Structure 1
Amino acid sequence: MGSFSIWHWLIVLVIVMMVFGTKKLKNIGGDLGSAVKGFKDGMKDGGTTDSAAPGSPASQQVTNHAKTDSNTVDVEAKTKS
């Protein structure tokens, strides 16, 4: 009972391809790659600036959202009559 040989891994790969199909595996690989890229970009951007800074994209997003959403109703402010 040692480590797995290359033949064991090839058999596992063939079984996984038969179960999931190549298209689904391709989509999973693409999603995983984009997630890793987003994480690396976030680590680059997050380490240099503070997200609560006035000029940061996060604060601009909140400001822009507040300006465009005029139909927001505060549920806690409503009282039943």
Structure 2
Amino acid sequence: VTMDIAKAIKELKAGRIEFRVDRTGNVHAPIGKVSFDLAKLEENFKGFMDAVLRARPAAAKGGYVRAVTVSSTMGPGIKIEPTQF
């Protein structure tokens, strides 16, 4: 919910995404739609991973991203090697 609708629309058009973290530490975020081409999905995914890694708390020790799985809303997950990031 926002009081400044124009600002929210501008941020969304600029590529802002919101992600949530569940109580077990899993991060959930949309990176695209099935209709997007592979290059756009890859670009969005890389941008998302960069944002997650930049948000890492300074006090966090050890591996910050342990596993990466991408899926459609109700589809099977596809594992991606987290060492690529």
Q: Please, what TM-score do these two structures have when normalized by structure 1?
A: 0.29
Structure number with the bigger relative contact order (C-alpha 8 A, sep ≥ 6) is: 2
Higher strand share: 2
Q: Please, what TM-score do these two structures have when normalized by structure 2?
A: 0.27
